Structures are given as structure tokens and as C-alpha cells.
Amino acid sequence: MAFYYDEPSHTFGEYLLIPGYSSEHCIPSNVSLKTPLTKFRKGEEEPAISLNIPMVSAVMQAVSDDKLAIALAQEGGLAFIYVSQPIEEQAKMVARVKNYKAGFVVSDSNLRPTDTLADVLALKKKLGHSTMAVTEDGSPNGKLLGLVTSRDYRVSRMDPSLKVSEFMTPFEKLICAHESTSLKEANDIIWDHKLNALPLIDDNQNLKYFVFRKDYDSHKANSLELLDSQKRYMVGAGVNTRDYEERIPALIEAGVDVLVIDSSEGYSEWQRRVLQFVRKNYGDTVKIGAGNVVDGDAFRFLAEAGADFIKIGVGGGSICITRETKGIGRGQATAVIEVAKERDKYFEETGIYIPLCSDGGIVHDYHMTLALAMGADFMMLGRYFARFDESPSNKVVINGQYMKEYWGEGSNRARNFQRYDTGENQTLTFEEGVDSYVPYAGALKDNVALTLKKISSTMCNVGSITIPELHENARLTLVSSVSIVEGGAHDVVLKNSTQVK
């Protein structure tokens, strides 16, 4: 007969941390959230790749493109560019992140000299930018002919059909710098000449970048940015179990730092074959994670197959309906606890530490701290990042509230049958994800900063200032449904609500 587990599986919302002793050194400003991304051997100083914050973004069309990858790397985390797109397009996204120069912005508001004031106003309404480059062909890297800013026109006194060439600031009157100019030199020019923006051009007068005055302080503030040995932002990418022999070389050529197999089920021959392909062709020089798993046996399978990190979670994502459609999965908290036990056992046996990524089941910020306390080294987040300006999905108004579109890779919209590869299906025969909306939350930087403050504060409450200390010191308790109610506001009339709890 079938095997039955004695205990039910639990979610993060069913646990609380027990406060522990906090010394005088256990304050949020002393907390380090640095954590390993890839495996390492006992005695090694550090792994090949570490994160400065325990966050990576999900391999999803609605979450992880190059724009979000840059924003997340600036905060110390790492994005995995989504795989459900042509190989060339994914490789281009990776290359854009690797080629991005911090502080040097490729122009996304561009005009031709033959465009009109009406075109200027339409572009400003669409993108919200007041500085627009006028190039010969209207491209981001065309020959620079001038600039248009809000000081160059007055809507009330000018005809909307007026050509840009008639009111732009021409190239001859611009202060520009060569593309070889360093960021420090560019900022000095901006301050010396009281500019808002400095165009950087090549020897042929082609526009390469802008450096903006407003970005100066934000660049100074990115103390945790995740950089490679050449001071470039780090980025990951997803691969599937179908076209990996072509996709992986293209991503490596584009400069990807780490790969992950994007699949709903990690305990499979198909994932082992991908890992074997990487090890056979690249040895340990290419780093690749695998998953997802929910128990110790599956963890050990992928560990022995050569995974650099392993993702935990089946059916716990907010847009995932795998448990409903297939009756398979496990409560995320129980899955993390059980896999972490096996990871620690494997470490004792082999001396190899394989980082764990908790993927799914995060509803509230404190769930992240619980995941870390239960043994995860970092979290993969989808819904969390989908809410921000930098995610690639559309911002829409639903019932008077700003929302962002968010859809699962198992939905028909994603058309990502490869993620649910059973070795024979060539199409998505039924959905395992939904198409939805999430409340718009603004800029990634502001939200991530707040979340990290919460995590750091909670870690201090349990007497830990590093994630390894949290693994050792955390004490957790299951809570009843009644105590969950007790944990929120109750038996009062809230000032912003007429509801009595």
C-alpha cells in the first residue's frame, strides 16, 4: 500500500519564531544578509557566487527581464531571466545586463528632427521622461543632433505640428563627453556646468549613454550591489529540459553568471540529463541550480547529479494551481524543514554544502524570515517582484486601483509547456497556473529596503546577525488557528474601518 506521512504538511503562516536573547551587538545595523548561492566544500572561505541579500527573482515572463535584473543586482540580489522566449532574445537580455554600466543610461526617449511637438508630448506622457534625445534616425544610438527638454517648449504658445528641429537645443550648443568618460568624471562635468543630463557620444557623434544628475545619490547608495570580478552586474537565466544543448552555450556566450533549470518537478531523469550535460561540457566552471523538490530523497537525487543549489516548493506559488489540478505538492514550511534536514545530513557525509532556495508560499514579509530560519539560504520570489515598476508586465487600473498583470508559467498565456516536461508532451495539455493581477507597489528599491529591515529586525529578536546563526539559533513553534487571530488587531474598532474585530 502507499506510504503515509505521520504528520500533515504545514505552511509558513502556521509558524512563529520564539524570541531569543539579544546581546548589545545584536542590532539591525550589524546584521549581514550575505548568503551562498552556489555549493562549496567545508573549509573553503566562500562559494564561487554569494548573494548580498537572500533574494532572487522567479523565472517568469511577468517578473524577470533585464530591467528588473539590473534593479535587483543594484540592491544585492539576482534575477533569473525567463526562459520561455527564443534563445536569442534571452541571450540579448543577459547581455544587456552584463553590458550595463552603472550610472550610464541608454536613452529610451528618442526623437527624429522631423517629429513634432505633438510627438514630444505623447512620448513624455508614455514614458514620463522630460529629457529626450534627437538622433538622425530616432534610435537610441543614432547620430546625436540635439536634445529636447521641458525648457525648450511652451505648449500654450506653440503649434503641436511644429518640427522638433525648430525648437530643440542643437548639438552645437550641448555639452557632451566621450563614451570613455568615467562615471566620476561625468558627474564632475554635470556639477561644474550645472547640467541635469550629460550625453556621452562616440567618435562619430553617435549617442551611447546619458548620465543624469538625479542618479548621483542613488548610485552612492547602492553599497550592496552584486558585481562580478569585472565590476559588472551579475545575472542568472533559466533553462529548460528541451533545448538546453543550444540554449546553455548561447547564455554562457552572453555572459550569464549562473543558470537554473526551470521546471515544476526536479526529481526527474530530464533534470539529471541537463546537469550531466553541463558537467561533461563545462565541468564546475558553469554554475547551475535545479529543482523543484519537496523531500529529502529528491534533494539527494539532484545533489548527486551535480546541482549547485536546489529549489524547494511544489504548488505553493500564488498563481500556481498544481495542487488543485494534480493533487501533488507539499506545504512549503514542511518541505523546507525536511529538505534542510537532508541537506545538513549530506553536508556531514560529504563536506559539500548545497544552498537551498525556498520557492513559493511567501505571502507576508515575515514568511521570508521563517523560510531562512527553517534552513533556506535564500528565497525565489515571483508575486513579490511582479508588483514593482521594474517588472515587465503592464500597469493597469482595476476598480480605481493600480494593479500589475501577473501570470503563471503554467498558464495558457505563458505557453511554457517545457516547464512541465514529461518527456513526451509537445504542448500544454492543461493549465497549472492562472492569469491574474497584483496590487502595484512602486519602486523595487523602496520595497526591498523595507523588507530587509523587517528581516534584520526579526533576526535580532531571535539573537542572530547572520543567516547561518539564524539556522542555528532559531526556535519555531506551530500555532493554532485561534492564536493566528490573536496575532492581529482584535477586539477593537480600527480608526480606518467600521469593522469590529
Q: What's the rounded Cα separation, in Å, for the pair 193 and 245?
A: 52
- Residue 42 near residue 351, CB atoms below 8 Å: yes
Residue 419 a catalytic site member: yes
Residue 357 a catalytic site member: no
Q: What's the rounded Cα separation, in Å, for the pair 418 and 374?
A: 31
Stated length of the chain: 501
The CA distances from residue 468 to 76, 223, 463, in Å, are 18, 22, 12
Q: Does an H or E element contain 74, and which? A: helix 66-75
Written as one letter, the residue type at 124 is K
- Residue 458 near residue 452, CB atoms below 8 Å: no
The CA distances from residue 29 to 26, 105, 366, 445, in Å, are 9, 32, 18, 18
From the candidates 320, 383, 387, 460, give the one annotated as an active-site residue.
320
CB atoms within 10 A of CB 485: 10
3-state secondary structure of 252: helix
CA atoms within 13 A on the CB side of 70: 20
Residues 6+ apart with CB under 8 A from 145: 113, 134, 135, 136, 165, 168, 170, 171
How does DSSP classify residue 433?
B
The CA distances from residue 354 to 32, 311, 339, in Å, are 20, 10, 11
Q: What's the rounded Cα separation, in Å, for the pair 119 and 262?
A: 42
Phi, psi (rounded to 5 degrees) for 51: -100, 150
The C-alpha cell that represents 337 in the structure block: 524543514
Q: What's the rounded Cα separation, in Å, for the pair 235 and 118?
A: 39
Pairing of strands 78-81, 236-239: parallel
From the candidates 232, 357, 419, 460, give the one annotated as an active-site residue.
419
Active-site annotation, residues: 320, 419
